[in-house]
Amino acid sequence: MSELRFQNADARAAAYGVIHFLVDAACVLAVERTGASTTVQALTVFWVILGYDVLAFALQAPLGALTDRLKLSRWVVYAGLGLTTVAVLTSRHAAIATMLAAGVGNALFHLGAGASVLRTSGGRATPAGLFVGPGALGLGLGLWMGRTGIGPAWPFVALPILSLPLVRYLHVDEIGTPASRESFGFDISRRVVSLALPLLLLSVAIRSFVGFGACRECPKGLLLAAGVPLAACAGKMLGGFISDRIGWIETAVGALLLSAPLVALNGGNFALAFPGLLLFQMTMPVTLVAVWRLIPEKPATAFGLPALALIIGAIPTFFRAGKHLFGPITFVALIVISAAALLVSLKAMGFGRGAFSPATAADKSPTAENGSGLTLESGPRRS
């Protein structure tokens, strides 16, 4: 019975995931196309790409906090789609304008749509994986089209705008009483929040740094260009689905530890790197929803904070000095630290101490309506 209650939420997340694919493809294509202009210097292109990444990720936290305060997540999504279209239109003519439109537009779409997905998830990880996973495919497509010049850009001008009617149907506004930590079947003190939240974000930042260097020795080519996005997408989607069924700790922490030798010691062998990346990414939906469980009344902020952690971990990899830190021993040590931080935070939140997942707790705990007709069940599955 509980599975039927969540099909609507999962379908909404999957449909929003398709739009996520389009937005990420369009934004990355626009930024990469600035390098095709003969008037733009190579160094300028580097800073445009870096600036886009910083805007797209770092802005999600402060703009998310503002969105939660004003309760305008639907309009934030609309603005993000509009700015994405502007970025594609200006990409061959104005590098800085493209960077600003793509970066801000991407951030707005993510935090607005992500807030809706979290709000209707019932505290499960599956919807988060369905929403976030396709973005990796969009990023890969945008990079490939932007760098090779293959394929027209015009679909990415039209598709974000054509997505607006779908967003009107998919998006769940801030209606009724916001979710609370108690609505998940257990109370979390401020002390636990102050411990678990920094540890979750530390785990995200470490994984971001390691993830950028996982395929550093793999031969460049179509296999790598297609394989990395596929592994990331599959890992995120499978991570959410599996964790809701066998346990968050078992899935997220276990997959992270299993990925360590494959990510750190693949020696450029993509047959080892691919499953390593897939396992590595399975942690993402658990971390994201765990952050929201700590601050459930602020879903846009909860979506933005891990994005901020991601860019903090990634920035060193843009520079030669940061890449000097890449190495098997460093990566294994960092993955173990990331797994330990995740384990401690989930244990502190009550996972493994009798907390139930929405999939199994339907008959054991009260439900709460979120104002969208979707039922929010209580608590995570035993881990």
Q: Specify if 182 maps to a domain.
A: yes
**58 — phi, psi (to 5°)?**
-70, -30
- Amino acid identity of residue 254, one-letter, is G
pLDDT at residue 364 in the model: 36
Whether the Cβ atoms of residue 91 and residue 142 lie closer than 8 Å to each other: no
Please name which of 206, 337, 213, 208 lies closest in space to residue 273, comparing C-alpha atoms. 213
What is the C-alpha separation between 83 and 66, in angstroms, rounded?
18
Residue 303 CB-density burial (10 A; 0-12 exposed, 13-18 middle, 19+ buried) = buried
pLDDT at residue 231 in the model: 95
pLDDT at residue 376 in the model: 35
pLDDT at residue 187 in the model: 62
Q: Specify if 362 maps to a domain.
A: no
Using alpha carbons only, give the angle 323, 328, 331 rounded to the nearest 5 degrees.
70
> Which residues of the chain carry a pLDDT beneath 70?
1-7, 35-43, 174-187, 352-383
Residue 236 CB-density burial (10 A; 0-12 exposed, 13-18 middle, 19+ buried) = buried
Q: Specify if 258 maps to a domain.
A: yes
Whether the Cβ atoms of residue 118 and residue 183 lie closer than 8 Å to each other: no
State which residues form the domain around 219: 2-352
What would the pLDDT profile of 212-254 be if each residue is shown by its tens digit?
A: 888 888 888 888 889 999 999 999 999 999 999 999 999 999 9
Whether the Cβ atoms of residue 163 and residue 22 lie closer than 8 Å to each other: yes
Q: Specify if 369 maps to a domain.
A: no
Q: Specify if 156 maps to a domain.
A: yes
Largest Cα separation within the chain, whole Å, is 64
Whether the Cβ atoms of residue 126 and residue 244 lie closer than 8 Å to each other: yes
Number of domain units in the chain: 1
Whether the Cβ atoms of residue 281 and residue 231 lie closer than 8 Å to each other: yes
CATH number at residue 336: 1.20.1250.20
* 375 strand-pairing partners: 369
